[in-house]
Amino acid sequence: MDYIYKFDTDNGFEQTDISSFYDVIEDDDFYLMYLGKTSFIEFANTYDLDNAIIDLLLTDTGKKSYIAVEDNYTFIILEMLDIMGNLDTSDLIGFYIENNRLIIVDMYDRDQSTSEAFREILRKRIYARSPGRLLKYFITALINNHTKIFDQIKNSTAEIEDSIVRNRKQSNSIEIISDNRHKALNLYTSYERLLDTLEVLAENENEIFDDDDIKHLKSVAFRVERYSSNISYLSDYITNVKDSYTSKMDLSTNNTMKILTVVTTIFTPITVLTGWYGMNFENMPELRWDFGYLYVIILSILSVFICFYLFKKIDK
């Protein structure tokens, strides 16, 4: 669904139609549109927007990130993680920005986060012209749920760390760790891409934004940078837990091998005796002894105790 609004300093957001988007407005007013990809292409053709934008949307459907800063507009394609999709997929959002005009292009919204973020900014009370503030509110609404994802990753990793400390084994620990590392990497990449976009907007090369807009853009950039730093620390934490888990598994394997080695070594003399007397040569005198069987049993038990004693003494 498409939404077209005019922001009036006296009346706030007023829904209007697309034909009035380029009407003359007062300096403190601005227009805001939320369009689907097809609607935006139709709009761009109708109002003769730059052909480079239209060609990009028509031909390069796989574009993940794009920034074009021209004399009278800025156009951005931004990839945002699909929160409901377990961070394995992404949404694509376009921003077409002119002086006093902002179009948010819903190119692909898997989890409805883009449309919900737009409705969120409409609920904000804004008393002055500030497209930069709108962008701040919109991006903030997009990344608000990321704190929940951060907590989920942190808590599940902490549970594994606790199980390692308490010597409790979780059958799927390595899968959880790998999944968490993958999520953290995707989040970090998304934040870095968003920071690059915000930095370009804040540079304001085509002077679309005023000082108040720049202030809000830098504010949200600072927040995203903090998120990025937190994810970086979380990635290090996950790596440390993975190393601890690997060390624990290596230690467990080493202990198992140690036990097997000791058992094998202790019973090696018995194996030798079994092989020795299993040859059954005709002239073996022990075969004719009345107590030969008992002799071999006592000799085997004695060899086991001697080996066990020697290992205990060496271990001390």
Per-residue pLDDT of the chain (316 residues; tens, 9 = 90+): 677 887 777 777 888 888 888 887 776 678 888 898 888 888 888 888 888 888 888 775 556 678 888 888 889 888 887 666 566 677 888 899 888 888 999 888 877 888 888 888 887 766 556 678 888 888 888 888 888 888 889 998 888 888 877 777 767 888 888 888 888 888 888 899 899 999 999 998 988 888 888 998 999 999 999 999 999 999 999 988 888 877 777 667 777 777 777 777 777 777 777 776 677 666 677 667 777 777 777 877 887 777 777 777 776 5
C-alpha angle 95-81-13 in degrees, rounded to nearest 5: 40
Cβ 96 vs Cβ 40: under 8 Å: yes
Amino acid of residue 228:
S
- Domain for residue 254, yes or no? no
- Same domain? For 182 and 285 the reply is no
Cβ 38 vs Cβ 168: under 8 Å: no
- Same domain? For 197 and 83 the reply is yes
Q: Of 223, 249, 275, which residue constitutes the final position of a domain?
A: 249
- Same domain? For 152 and 292 the reply is no
Report the DSSP pairing between strands 101-108 and 30-36. parallel
Q: Give, in order, the Cα–Cα distances in Å from 96 to each of 25, 49, 112, 179.
A: 18, 10, 20, 35
Q: What's the gap between Cα 191 and its chain centre?
A: 10
Q: What's the gap between Cα 275 and its chain centre?
A: 60
- Domain for residue 19, yes or no? yes
- Same domain? For 244 and 272 the reply is no
d(CA 126, CA 289): 108
- Domain for residue 262, yes or no? no
Q: Please report the pLDDT score of residue 92 as a whole number.
A: 85
- Same domain? For 231 and 158 the reply is yes
Residue count (the chain): 316
d(CA 191, CA 80): 9
- Domain for residue 258, yes or no? no
Q: Of 249, 280, 296, which residue constitutes the final position of a domain?
A: 249
Number of domains in the chain: 2
- Domain for residue 169, yes or no? yes
- Domain for residue 63, yes or no? yes
Report the DSSP pairing between strands 66-69 and 30-36. unpaired
- Same domain? For 54 and 94 the reply is yes
What CATH number has the domain bearing residue 59?
3.30.460.20
Structure-token match 């970086």, residue found: 232
Amino acid of residue 65:
S
Q: Give, in order, the Cα–Cα distances in Å from 163 to each of 167, 241, 242, 247, 253.
A: 6, 11, 12, 14, 17
Beta strands in the chain (DSSP E): 3-8, 12-15, 30-36, 66-69, 74-81, 90-98, 101-108
- Domain for residue 53, yes or no? yes
- Same domain? For 198 and 286 the reply is no
Residue 290 belongs to what domain range?
Answer: 267-315
- Same domain? For 59 and 190 the reply is yes
Please give the structure tokens belonging to residue 44.
Answer: 């761009």
